[in-house]
Amino acid sequence: MGLARYVVLRVVWAAVVSLVIVTATFVLMAAAPNPAIQEAATQAALEGGDPQQAVERERELRGLDEPLHVRYLDFLTSIYTLEWGWSDHRSQPVTEALVEGLYYTAQYSIPWTVLTVLIGPLVGVYSAANMYSWRDHAATAFAFFGYAIPNFFFGIVLLLLFGVWLDWIPVVYRTDVAVFSLENARQLALPVFVLVTGSIGAVMRVSRNESAEFRDATFMKTAKAKGVSPFRAYAYHVMRPTLVPLSTTLVSQLLAIFLGSSLLVEVVFGIPGLGRLTFEALVAQDTNLVLGATFVFTFVAVIGNLLEDIAFSVLDPRISYDDR
């Protein structure tokens, strides 16, 4: 089996996984009691009406009187056609609310991801090239610091220092500034820095450990004997085999921070992104919006793992696809 067929099978498997997750969500929603129906029955009882008739009327209005398989097909159609219902908390369609939140999340997520992918492996390889020197110890200390300190606490400390005391950055996030402007870069500098320091630690440590295995390899000795510069030797002969196991760490680390820490960072810095949107929907008990945000995070995780498998296969030509 070639690479192309393997990629196609992985794409099909990702679609199956997303279908299983959507189906499990439908089963849980069908089994859980609907608060709107219970509220209608309570309201009818308080007004002296028939609670059972109120329940039947509410079920009919919401389509819950249909057979289970019909409701399941309607649910699948609405999910994959992006008709995710109405958000009572935002007074707008769920898809529009999620697109608005994703717009602000992307403004710091894209530079954060780019900086992590570029800086993490480079610092790790540089640390391995200068192993047990003061440069190695400094890079290791920085990595452990970012890995250990909680992102939300670090964000609060930086916001107090640079926003309140030094007044270098705005304390309140402004949505009326242009995306590609100096003012927007100022107010996004701290969130990006907090996320980069939180994600670069694991990436740097893995790249350092993997690079250390190749620094005394035979091909490195041969390259040095031919007069290849250390920079070229590490860039061409160490970086690529290091990226094979590092691709797994990169995807898992970035997904973990995107799905978890980004919510806390958005709450701390007041960014109206996807994480804060989900938090406010949970507080307001906006079921449709919470469900839509959950699907977004789920699909991001599925696509991220798909890209991880493809990158792993492309970077390592030794992989055999016959047993996959």
Lookup: tokens for 259: 């799905």
Query: Which residue in this structure is represented by tokens 């992104």?
Result: 273
Q: Give the model's pLDDT for residue 4.
A: 75
Find out whether 303 and 297 touch, Cβ atoms under 8 Å: no
Q: Give the model's pLDDT for residue 13.
A: 85
Which CATH architecture does the domain made up of 94-315 adopt?
A: Orthogonal Bundle (1.10)
Q: What does the angle CA 65 – CA 28 – CA 295 come to, to the nearest 5 degrees?
A: 105
What whole-number distance in Å separates Cα of residue 261 and Cα of residue 151?
7
What pTM value is reported for the model?
A: 0.75
How buried is 206 (Cβ within 10 angstroms: 0-12 exposed, 13-18 middle, 19+ buried)? buried
Rounded to a whole number of angstroms, the distance between the first and last alpha carbons of the chain is 8
Q: What are phi and psi of 52, to 5 degrees?
A: -65, -40
Per cent of the chain over pLDDT 70 is: 87
Return the closest-CA partner of residue 139 out of 121, 154, 151, 157.
Answer: 121
Find out whether 220 and 236 touch, Cβ atoms under 8 Å: no
What whole-number distance in Å separates Cα of residue 271 and Cα of residue 187?
10
Find out whether 204 and 124 touch, Cβ atoms under 8 Å: yes
What whole-number distance in Å separates Cα of residue 222 and Cα of residue 240?
17
CA distances from 215 to 23, 29, 62, 249, 278 (A): 49, 54, 65, 21, 46
Q: Give residue 260's pLDDT band: very low, low, confident or very high (50, 70, 90).
A: low
pLDDT digits (tens, 9 = 90+) for 55-80: 777 777 766 777 888 888 888 888 88
Q: Beta strand pairing status for 92-93 and 86-87?
A: antiparallel
pLDDT digits (tens, 9 = 90+) for 153-183: 888 888 888 888 888 888 888 888 888 888 8
| Domain ranges (residues) in the chain | 3-88, 94-315
Residue 53 has pLDDT above 80, yes or no: no
Q: Give the model's pLDDT for residue 318.
A: 61
Q: What does the angle CA 236 – CA 242 – CA 245 come to, to the nearest 5 degrees?
A: 150
CA 72 to chain centre: 28
For residue 132, give the 3-state DSSP assignment: coil
DSSP state of 33: P
Q: Give residue 141's pLDDT band: very low, low, confident or very high (50, 70, 90).
A: confident
